[in-house]
Homo-oligomer: A and B are copies of this chain.
Amino acid sequence: MKRSLGPSPLLFPSPAIVICSYDKEGRANAMTAAWSGISCSDPPCVSISLRKETYTYWNIMETKAFTVNIPSEEMVRSVDSFAMTSGRKADKLRNAGMTPIRSEVVNAPFIDEFPMALECQAVQFIELGMHTMFVGEIKDVKVSEETIGRSGEGLMMDIRPLVYSHDDHSYYSVGKKVANVGVSIGR
């Protein structure tokens, strides 16, 4: 028997990611975004959703570029700090002791200290209501040299990314491998 919770944006698990962009003056900004997902395999695309109230929304409208920065769980305080203030008011990257690196493939910075970044050209803008969905074509994926292979178990465990739970407004870690794709047919 199921209980109705009403219409609500609940999907488990959702990634906790940081969007980086440049403003009109070329200043790097970082913003933690709750809503994102891969939306195409070829060309590889990722979608992020932003409110017009954010500084990042207008940055991307101007530059048509952004990066999706994937944190490790040890970076939870930085991730959280990028969610708490606006880039209009503060240099959030400097305050967190993080270094923006200019992408060579799109007009946006990525965070040097984070283990992974997707460098994206914004190709579509879809108005949905409170949020606008930005579809970004992934032009390259960068991973820190010291991250690759450190777990011996693939990129997921190398990175140890953060999960965001909208239900209890918390960050979680990723746990253990449960099975390989193909387990149901004995692969």
Are A156 and B172 in contact (CB-based, < 8 A)?
yes
Q: Does any Cβ of B come within 8 Å of A54's Cβ? A: no
Question: In the complex, which residues 30-72 of chain A have their Cβ closer than 8 Å to any Cβ of chain B?
Answer: 34-47, 49, 68, 70
Pick the contact of A131: B1, B41, B68, B170 (CB < 8 A).
B41
If A171-B177, A177-B172 touch, whether A38 touches B35 (CB-CB below 8 Å) is yes
Q: Does any Cβ of B come within 8 Å of A25's Cβ? A: no
Q: Does any Cβ of B come within 8 Å of A183's Cβ? A: yes
Q: Does any Cβ of B come within 8 Å of A86's Cβ? A: no
**A112 to B3 CA separation, bound complex (whole angstroms):** 12
Q: Report how many copies the assembly holds.
A: 2
A interface bracket (residues with beta carbon within 8 Å of B):
35 or more
Are B10 and A141 in contact (CB-based, < 8 A)?
yes
**A38 to B10 CA separation, bound complex (whole angstroms):** 7
Are B15 and A80 in contact (CB-based, < 8 A)?
no
Are A11 and B117 in contact (CB-based, < 8 A)?
no
Q: Does any Cβ of B come within 8 Å of A97's Cβ? A: no
Are A39 and B6 in contact (CB-based, < 8 A)?
no
Q: Which A residues are within 8 Å of any B CB, using their own CB? A: 1-15, 17, 34-47, 49, 68, 70, 73, 76-78, 80-81, 83-84, 101, 110, 112, 116-118, 124, 126, 128-131, 133, 135, 137-145, 148, 153-156, 159, 161-163, 165-185
Other contacts beyond A9-B46, A10-B155: 17, CB < 8 A: A2-B144, A7-B44, A7-B138, A11-B70, A13-B13, A38-B166, A43-B129, A73-B178, A80-B185, A126-B135, A153-B168, A163-B175, A168-B180, A170-B179, A171-B180, A172-B176, A173-B178
